[in-house]
Structure 1
Amino acid sequence: MKANEIKEMTADELNTKLAELKEELFNLRFQHAVNQLENPKRLQAVKKDIARVKTFIRKHESEAQ
């Protein structure tokens, strides 16, 4: 995901996206454990996307206060 896409999301959309990314990360880790992961770089990309989403969630929270 691009940062521009994340900036345009609302807080509810960000929370939904965070849940989706965490589920995807879980599935990727499971695939990695059973040696069925085709693209190991995807693990790293999902972790970075989670960090980006969490950053913008925190930014929305601080702006609300």
Structure 2
Amino acid sequence: MPENNITWDEAFCGEGNSCFRLGTDAEGNGYISILGEEDRYLTDSRDALRNLIRDIKAGKADHLL
């Protein structure tokens, strides 16, 4: 994947070993990665990532964590 200037947030850790990091870049793209593997990430628009986080917090995607 191309090199980006990603600003990573603190890790979010669920039960067990499921630790994730969220990040953004200057162009408004959102990123999600497993803690410790920030060089391997998924990317999407900031709006798409924001909606995913809202759904997780609302309990709509508990199976992801």
**TM-score using structure 2 length:** 0.32
Return the structure number with greater relative CO, CA threshold 8 A, min gap 6.
1
Q: Which protein is richer in helix relative to its size?
A: 1
- Larger C-alpha radius of gyration, 1 or 2? 1
What is the TM-score when the length of structure 1 is the normalising length? 0.32
